Homo-oligomer: A and B are copies of this chain.
Amino acid sequence: MMLQTNKMELDILIANAEDGYKHLQQMSRKDRAELMYSIASSIEALGDELIQTAHEETNLPLARLNGEKARTIHQWRLYADVTASGVLLDARIDYGEGKNDIRKYNVGLGPVVVFGASNFPFAFSTAGGDTASAIGAGCSVIYKEHSAHPRTSRIMAKAIYDGLKAFGAPNEIFGYASGNSHDVGQSLVANPKIKAVAFTGSFQGGMALFKIGANRPEPIPVFAEMGSLNPVIAMPEFLQSNTTNFAKEYIASLTMGCGQFCTNPGILFLLKNEVSENLKQLIKQEFGSVEVGHMLHEGIRKSYDKSLDLLNSTVVANVVGSTAESRDLPIAVVYSVNATDFLKFKHLQEEVFGPCGVIVECDSISQMEDIISNLAGQLTITFAATKQDIQQNLTLVDLVKNKCGRLLFNGMPTGVEVVYAMQHGGVFPSSTDSRFTSVGPDAMKRFLRPISFQNWPDTLLPLELQNSNPSRIERIENNKRILP
């Protein structure tokens, strides 16, 4: 049975979220960090039920789910540490003879709506990075459950409530909206009390919410991370001396997690020559040892098969290699097209969510530059290259920089580390706002706004801005960075 939050329940959720936000505003930053640690411990204490339920709902392997759980716990603790440090408050203090005393720091925007993602039932869902970063920023959260894993979501929601209770904070800080209907999510985004939205999913879904957020009477930011082709550019010198390894790494990355990562390497650019012919042979061989599992849910599988049908009926796209046909499992497959056809057939530039890659064979680096110039924005772009490949092709590198949020030198784009330096959020249409990341402590920046205090008596200022810096945070004072 699918539960569905009704209108009256939504009104209560919203009112609670407002109360929760007020509660967070009254709470000290250190307490907020402790509260986040409490939630982390509560998630850590979840046992087999969580992993088993998620496995049943998403088909994701147990090892992957255990890893994702650990990452989710790490996110809460890291974001808690950064909340406690006060770095993201951007505290600034200016004063001087004949000048006003002005002091600024960041505060939470207000209640935030978080949408669950199908492909990360923990790390981008109920208690995932969006929820953790919103609470870290001082915002209450209403979570809209993803219909692909409602039971998992509820176990996780219970853990959040346990964490709130253990710390002594009210339930209102976190709200839970259920149901399969788009109406629930859209009503939440349209509600005037909601001040920001975080979403990870399809372009269609993300843009629908973005439009609602932008066209409300009071526009609000909708941070939608909407997927990407994540091009890999195999440069000639590198590819020549690493063909075998590259084929292995590429196929492993393409088929990992059944290709269901936002950072899956959907497109491979290379120069057409004997090396590329060799690579295609190696890729074909590589498929002999590849196994893919079930996809996340039936809807994704149907959509994947439909995309493959389209590719199979595209005469210019040739199958390089694939896994064997199977009644139950999806086929992992790599196609090749030449660069001119890639530009002509626009559907080749659309993300296929699943273990499917397209090799684009170019006649020259300058043709690659031309393609990159016309390419849509991406979460990641990867150079498979030697140093010399880069040094000799700086024009191409500069074009690439303008098209992505994360630029890799070798390796594969799958695998997103939860660190300060991570940028997960790329140039449109990979995300609605290239200025922000949804992974790493900077994800909290999405939910903050500055407020200035002019000529306030020291004792009436927030601790963070008082002269003696009692909460010991870094600040910029009269244009100079002062560490605590």
Interface residues of A (CB under 8 A from B): 22, 25, 81-82, 87, 90, 92-94, 99-100, 102-104, 107, 109-110, 210-211, 214-215, 218-219, 221, 387, 390-391, 398, 401-402, 404-411, 415, 417, 419-423, 428-429, 432-435, 437, 442, 448-457, 459-460, 474, 476, 479, 481, 483
Of B94, B459, B476, which contacts A387 at CB under 8 A?
Answer: B459
Contact among B100, B423, B453, B476 with A420 in the assembled complex (CB-CB below 8 Å): B476
Residues of B close to A474: CB separation below 8 A = 481
User: Is the beta-carbon distance between B437 and A407 smaller than 8 angstroms?
Assistant: no
For A418, the closest partner residue in chain B by CB is B94
Residues in B with CB closer than 8 Å to A434 are 109, 449
Nearest Cβ on chain B to A204's Cβ, whole angstroms: 14
Give, as a whole number of angstroms, the nearest-CB distance from A369 to chain B: 13
A211: chain B residues at CB < 8 Å are 214-215
In the bound assembly, the distance between CA atoms of A81 and B107 in angstroms comes to 27
Q: Which residue of B lies closest to A415 (CB)?
A: B100
> Which of B102, B218, B476 is close to A417, meaning CB atoms less than 8 Å apart?
B102
For the residues of A in contact with B, the DSSP-based class is mixed
Docked-complex contact B411 and A442, CB < 8 angstroms: no
- Cβ-neighbour of A92 out of B110, B391, B420 (below 8 A): B420
A107 to B419, CA, bound (A): 19
Most chain B beta carbons < 10 A, residue from A102, A391, A420: A420
B411 pairs with A100, CB closer than 8 A: yes
| A402–B428 alpha-carbon span in the complex (Å) | 31
Which residue on B lies nearest to A462, using beta carbons? B401
> In the docked arrangement, what's the CA distance between A213 and B483, Å?
39
- Cross-chain contact B452 with A409 (CB below 8 angstroms): no
In the complex, are the beta carbons of B450 and A435 less than 8 A apart? yes
A to B CB contacts below 8 Å, 19 in the list: A22-B398, A81-B479, A90-B442, A92-B419, A99-B417, A99-B419, A102-B419, A104-B421, A211-B215, A215-B215, A218-B428, A406-B454, A407-B451, A407-B456, A409-B457, A409-B460, A411-B455, A421-B452, A435-B450
